[in-house]
Structure 1
Amino acid sequence: MSSHHIIRENQEPALIIANGEACSMDLLNELLEWSPLVVVLDSAMERVMELGIKVDVLIGDFDRDFDAHYYREKQYPIEIIHQADQESTDLEKAFHYLLSRNFTAVNVVWATGKRADHAFTNISNIVRFRDRLKIVLFDDYSKIYTIPYTFEKWYAAQTIISLIPIGTVHGISTQNLLYPLDNETLTVGYRTGSSNRVKEDGFVKITYTDGDLLMMECHD
C-alpha cells in the first residue's frame, strides 16, 4: 500500500482525489509524496483502493450501497464523513472539510475528464473558495487555479497559457504574452483568453480589476 505520510503539518497542500478521468501514476505519486492528508470522494474509493493508496478521509453523500465497516477494515485508520447535503457537490464538501481543519491549500486530481457537467462544475466552482483556500486542479495536460488581481510568475517561452473568466472579468492587462491584453474584458461563452503563449523566457505579469479569472497552464 502506497504511503504518503512524509509530512504531517498543514503548511503542505492536502490532496483530494475526485472521480473523473484518472491521471498518470507519475503525477499522482508526485502529489502524494508531499501530501499530509489524502481525501477521497466516495464515488472514487474503489478505484483508489485498487491502486494501493492509503486514504485518510473518505467523504461524500454515500448515495449508493455503502459499507463503512468494510472501508474501516481495509483502510484503518480512516475518517469517514457522511454529508447528505444535496445542495453541494462532494468536491465542495471536501473543500469545506479542509477549511474546518485549517488547511490553506489543496491539490485536486481526477476532477476533469469523463462527464462534461462534472468537469465544468469542478473547474468553475473553485472560484468560490479563492479567498479561503488555494486550490490547484491537476490532470495530465493542465494545471488550473485562480489568480489574484496582480499575478507574476516566471515561464519558459512558448508555454501555453489560457486565461479563462468565470462570468465577466474586467481590466485585464498582460505582459510577455504572444497575444497581449490591454485593459480588456473577457466573458465566458463570448470571449476568453484561450491558447495564448509566453513570448520569451521570463516573467509573465497579469493584472485585472474585478471578477474571477482562472489560469490554465497547459501542454499537449
Structure 2
Amino acid sequence: MSSHHIVRDDQEPALIIANGAECHPELLGQLLEWSPWVVVLDSAIERVLDYNIKVDVLLGDFDRDFDPNKYLEKQFPLEIIHTPDQNKTDLEKAFDYLIEKGFPAANVVWATGKRADHTITNLTTIAAYREKLKIVIHDDHSKVYLLPRSFKKWYPAKTKLSLVPLGLAEGITTQNLEYPLNNESLHMGYRHGNSNLVVQDGLVCIEHHSGDLLLMECVD
C-alpha cells in the first residue's frame, strides 16, 4: 500500500489508526484515499508499517518501554505526540489533537474487535465530541457514527441499520424503516433498535429530541 499524500481540500477527514483488530486492506486503502493526514496510536505503528503507509503523527502514552523515536528516520517527517495523561484514552487524545489542529472530521479504524472493554469505550466516547468533531468508526462489518438531532440519508432497500442509544435517547421518530419508531425512546440495556431494515430505495429519516444515539450501518 503506497503513500497517501496527495494535495487535497482541508475539509477532508483525518484518519486515526487505533490499536485494535485490523480491518481488510481494501477498506484501509479506501479510507486512505480520502484522508490526507494519518494519526497512529502508540504501538500500532509496528503493524501499520507493514502496510507501507506514510504516517504523519504517532501519538500515545508510550508505556511498556516503547521508544517512538526509532521511527523518526523511517517516517520522516513524523510528529511525535507524547500524551501521558491516564485520564483519557489514546483515542480521545487523538480526537483532542485533531480538534486543536482544526480538523472538522475523523475516520477511525482498528478501534474494535480485540478487547470488549476497548471496543465499548471507543464506540461510546464519541458522544463527548458531538459539537467538536464529526467521527466515523469503521471496521469490516460496521460503520458507526453519532446521529445529529435530525438525520436524512439515501439507502438501498434491505440495508441493515441499528440504532444504539448511549444511555437514554428520547423522542425518536423514523421513516422508511421496517420497524418504525414514532416519538419513542431507546434505553441502553433495556430497549435497543438493532437490525432494522430499510423498506425501499430512498431516504431514511431519523429524528430524536434528546440523548445520544449511534447509527450503525452493518453488513454480515
Deviating above 3 A after TM superposition, structure 1's stretches of 4 or more consecutive aligned residues are none
- The separation in 1 between residues aligned to 2:216 and 2:48, in whole angstroms, is 26
TM-score of the aligned structures, taking structure 2 as reference length: 0.98
Q: CA deviation at 1:73?
A: 1.4
- The separation in 1 between residues aligned to 2:8 and 2:37, in whole angstroms, is 8
SS in 1 for 2:107: strand
Q: CA deviation at 1:43?
A: 2.4
- The separation in 1 between residues aligned to 2:98 and 2:32, in whole angstroms, is 16
Match of 1:183 in 2: 183
- The separation in 2 between residues aligned to 1:155 and 1:8, in whole angstroms, is 27
Match of 1:40 in 2: 40
- The separation in 2 between residues aligned to 1:215 and 1:181, in whole angstroms, is 14
SS in 1 for 2:163: strand
Q: What per-residue deviation string (whole Å, max 9, x for no partner) do you get for residues 48-97 of structure 1?
A: 01211110000000012222331101111100000100000000000000
- Contact 1:6/1:34 (<8 A) preserved: no
- Contact 2:62/2:68 (<8 A) preserved: no
> What letter is aligned with 1:160?
K
Identity of matched residues, %: 63
- Contact 1:6/1:35 (<8 A) preserved: no
TM-score of the aligned structures, taking structure 1 as reference length: 0.98
Match of 1:87 in 2: 87
Match of 1:160 in 2: 160
> What letter is aligned with 1:122?
N
Match of 2:146 in 1: 146
> What letter is aligned with 2:112?
T
- The separation in 2 between residues aligned to 1:65 and 1:33, in whole angstroms, is 33
> What letter is aligned with 1:117?
D
> What letter is aligned with 2:139?
D
Call closer, same or farther: CA 1:65–1:73 in 2, change over 3 Å.
same
- The separation in 2 between residues aligned to 1:57 and 1:8, in whole angstroms, is 18
How many aligned residue pairs are there? 220
- The separation in 1 between residues aligned to 2:86 and 2:113, in whole angstroms, is 22
> What letter is aligned with 1:66?
F
Match of 1:200 in 2: 200
Q: What per-residue deviation string (whole Å, max 9, x for no partner) do you get for residues 115-146 of structure 1?
A: 00000000000111011100000001100001
Q: CA deviation at 1:8?
A: 4.5
- The separation in 1 between residues aligned to 2:70 and 2:109, in whole angstroms, is 24
- The separation in 1 between residues aligned to 2:48 and 2:86, in whole angstroms, is 24
- The separation in 2 between residues aligned to 1:75 and 1:82, in whole angstroms, is 17
SS in 2 for 1:145: strand
SS in 1 for 2:46: helix
The 5-angstrom pairing of residues 37-116 of structure 1 reads: 37-116=37-116
SS in 1 for 2:117: helix
SS in 2 for 1:132: coil
Match of 1:25 in 2: 25
